[in-house]
Structure 1
């Protein structure tokens, strides 16, 4: 009988400990849910796959620090093509594997191709807005088939402030209803402003002659209409 009375006490102790553990786990999960907000929506431009991109891979932009001499830009195995080596000149940090820098450029080409396949305007806008760093150099050396995108982008300008724009009609490469703009002339006089959205939701801006400054917000990029 003595053992019979002790067993419930031990069982109660085990149950109590288990309940305390479950409570602690639940509290930890709640705290983590509060600390980790939900991810933001994906951008319209194709983002690189974080699993395939080396963490230390630099931007395709030319390196600002010490770089490998051209003669030492060689892969661990195989060889670079003439175009690949030309792209890498002046871009490989002294302590970096040239192949990692080349991979970053190749991924920019892949992003452009995938985005243009879905929406050419989005790809052109990404170049204008600077979402594809050094797009002109990347395309020239690594994916010349994308040159029409660079050519189209050269005619536009990014969201923000454009000094002395050519008079004419421009279209924003977005359908965001928050897109707004204004054209200012001498003495700060507002000559025109918008948005003026078309039936398809595209915002167009008619920039008058004599515009000294064109300013836009939330419009991503502009191209001649």
Structure 2
């Protein structure tokens, strides 16, 4: 039983917002809604650009103009093979073979190697779960850097690559 004259805990009056969670939650929800709206409208590309693509208009031309003349994926200025060194340790022979003529000046060779390893990981996933999809993905070019990755990093998928290209 409370003592006489003891103070009661402060209870907010109705209609008065307390500082803290409810206001912050509403602000976070509003920010998330705005972010989602920007994401959705940014991905849609707008109706005018779509109309240009469907009509064979100029929407695809600027993209073609900005690509390099030799669009084979190999950069013009690359790091020489003898300068390919990871931050720690050494590259294996097949990793050096993959990186040769692939690492642009100023780019970490480990990052380029990781792209090849990711291609091998995706190929392995498809091989385990749906071998037919593996061949289709290779044929349709859905996995970036798949051909050089198979050639140097994961030759166990060479038969699937041969089936896709042949």
Q: Which TM-score band applies after superposition, normalised by the shorter structure?
A: 0.5 to 0.7
State how far apart, in whole Å, the 1-side matches of 2:83 and 2:19 are: 64
1:1-225 aligned within 5 A: 12=13, 16-18=16-18, 22=22, 25-26=25-26, 28-30=28-30, 32-33=32-33, 35-36=35-36, 62-155=73-166
Cα RMSD (Å) of the superposition? 3.2
Q: Tell me how far 1:81 sits from its aligned partner.
A: 2.1
Q: Deviations over 1:163-186 (max 9, x none)?
A: xxxxxxxxxxxxxxxxxxxxxxxx
State how far apart, in whole Å, the 1-side matches of 2:114 and 2:20 are: 51
Q: Tell me how far 1:78 sits from its aligned partner.
A: 1.9
Q: CA distance change for structure 1 residues 29 and 98 in 2, over 3 Å: closer, same or farther?
A: same
State how far apart, in whole Å, the 2-side matches of 1:78 and 1:93 are: 21
State how far apart, in whole Å, the 2-side matches of 1:28 and 1:82 are: 51
Q: Greater strand percent: which structure?
A: 1
* Higher relative contact order, structure no. (Cα contacts within 8 Å, ≥ 6 residues apart): 1
State how far apart, in whole Å, the 1-side matches of 2:90 and 2:21 are: 58
SS at 1:25's partner residue?
Answer: helix
Q: Tell me how far 1:137 sits from its aligned partner.
A: 1.3
Check the 8 A contact 2:139/2:164 in 1, yes or no: yes
State how far apart, in whole Å, the 1-side matches of 2:20 and 2:120 are: 54
Q: Tell me how far 1:100 sits from its aligned partner.
A: 1.5
Check the 8 A contact 1:139/1:146 in 2, yes or no: yes
State how far apart, in whole Å, the 1-side matches of 2:158 and 2:35 are: 44
5+ residue gaps in structure 1?
Answer: 1-9, 40-60, 156-225
SS at 1:149's partner residue?
Answer: helix
Q: Greater helix percent: which structure?
A: 2
State how far apart, in whole Å, the 2-side matches of 1:72 and 1:16 are: 67
Q: CA distance change for structure 1 residues 24 and 62 in 2, over 3 Å: closer, same or farther?
A: closer
Q: Tell me how far 1:143 sits from its aligned partner.
A: 0.5
State how far apart, in whole Å, the 1-side matches of 2:162 and 2:78 are: 30
Q: Deviations over 1:49-102 (max 9, x none)?
A: xxxxxxxxxxxx744242111110122222222221111011112111211111
Q: CA distance change for structure 1 residues 24 and 117 in 2, over 3 Å: closer, same or farther?
A: closer
